[in-house]
Amino acid sequence: MPPARETLERVFREEYGLIIASLIRRSGSFELAEESLQDAFSAALVNWENDGTPQNPAAWLTRVAHRKLVDMLRREKTKTDKQSELEFETKRLQTDEPSTAYDDDLESALAHPDDRLRLIFTCCHPSLTQEARVALTLRTLGGLTTSEIARAFLLPEPTLAQRLVRAKSKIRVAGIPYHIPPREVLPQRLASVRAVIYLIFNEGYAATSGENLIRNDLCLEAIRLARVLCELMPDESDRPENFGLLALMLLQDSRREARINRQGELATLEEQDPSLWNQNEIAEGLRLVETALRFRRVGPYQLQAAIAAVHAEAKAAAETDWRQIVALYSELMRIDPSPIVALNHAAAVAMSDGFEQGLRLIDEVGGAGKLDHYYFFHAARADLLRRLKRNEEAAEAYARALPLTANEVEQRYVRRRLSELKKD
């Protein structure tokens, strides 16, 4: 891959959310912001291949995108009272100093220093459906493709694309403001905000496509946003679940380096080397779980973090307290039921009470057909059938799982299992 294109792809993943958020704040338009940034990326491809990559690629893209945005706004001329502001904006954005693109909003920046957090709360406005809030923020803030978000939602891509269009249109027509809302209405938004952050983390922790299983930039971005959320929401009513979310991601992220073995293959939890786990993240995660649970207002993220804590405290896979994990999943199903939670509960039962029992529960979960296109359902079922030496059925389940993941690491794992079954 040419150096310019490689740099551009890296900057896209690392800086897209920050740049697009600043563009939306200035224009009040998702469409204009996305178009101007896309134009900037197109210009970068040409300029960087001819002249080499700039010393600060993100600053270069930000300047060019802001200039293109001003040009678009000037051409539209839909609001005459904005012309003087546009003239000022044009002069200011022509400077070579990238930081000056933000100087005019200093007071707001000091009060809420993260444009991306503003963007999350805008996308999570209560006038939008829960699904639209999460999808729009993932698309805009995280830069995830429509395909990636559709896979996360278990939805057809055209359905998800229509949902994004409707959400943007509603924000424009309703004049939804681009700001962090007053504290009295914040609780209404927090559930969606947490869901957004966690889905960003999940896309980084197990990428839906590509040659890498893990996208570190998204994991780190989600953890960073969760920290900002914890700092922004000091009220006791908000803290337990915010702490739980941060703890959950830290505990999961602690296993990142162990999830790929030396051969570049996927290592399941029981195959991982615990000595590779990040002990600093584990220690912080465990402290946060304990702190959150002391509030005695248990929520879904706290329970998931408690499950991750049980795994983290086991010195070896064989020492995992599966009965405790089953009990935690049972409570999670009570307060936040879903087919995926039921699937995870069934997998834990298999490790605690026997593979046959776990397989029976998995088949019950799959009976409604809601997980027919979910990779992990077929992979989990195949694993239990393999352990039960029901090789033909296991091979069939692995074959069904294979086309449901576009991630090359997961595909190699499934093919390896299929190859092993043929040898037995």
Share of the chain above pLDDT 90, in %: 43
- Is there a contact between 380 and 355 (Cβ–Cβ < 8 Å)? no
Q: Looking up tokens 């590509």, which residue turns up?
A: 210
Distance CA 75, CA 155 (A): 37
Q: What average pLDDT does this structure show over 333-350?
A: 96
Residues 6+ apart with CB under 8 A from 90: 67, 70, 74
For residue range 93-127, list pLDDT tens digits in order: 443 333 333 334 333 433 344 677 788 888 888 88
- pTM to 2 decimals? 0.73
Backbone angles phi, psi at 263, to 5 degrees: -85, 0
Q: What average pLDDT does this structure show over 44-57?
A: 87
Query: What pLDDT is attached to residue 407?
Result: 83
Tell me: pLDDT of 50 over 90. Answer: no
Distance CA 379, CA 209 (A): 17
- Amino acid found at 394: A
User: Lowest-pLDDT range, 27-36, 303-312, 328-337?
Assistant: 27-36
Query: What pLDDT is attached to residue 258?
Result: 92
Q: Higher confidence at residue 206 or residue 392?
A: 392
Residues 6+ apart with CB under 8 A from 390: none
Q: Which of 120, 100, 15 is nearest to 58 (CA)?
A: 15
Distance CA 233, CA 181 (A): 12
Backbone angles phi, psi at 226, to 5 degrees: -65, -35
Distance CA 416, CA 424 (A): 13
Q: What average pLDDT does this structure show over 68-77?
A: 81
Please state, in angstroms and as integers, the Cα–Cα distance from residue 78 to each residue in 22, 74, 75, 174, following that order. 21, 9, 9, 17
Residue/partner pairs of 96-101 with CB below 8 Å, 24 or more apart? 96/63, 98/56, 98/59, 98/60, 98/62, 98/63, 101/22, 101/62, 101/63, 101/66
Distance CA 167, CA 136 (A): 7
For residue range 212-257, list pLDDT tens digits in order: 666 777 788 889 889 988 887 766 777 899 999 999 999 999 999 9
Query: What pLDDT is attached to residue 112?
Result: 40
Tell me: pLDDT of 147 over 70. Answer: yes
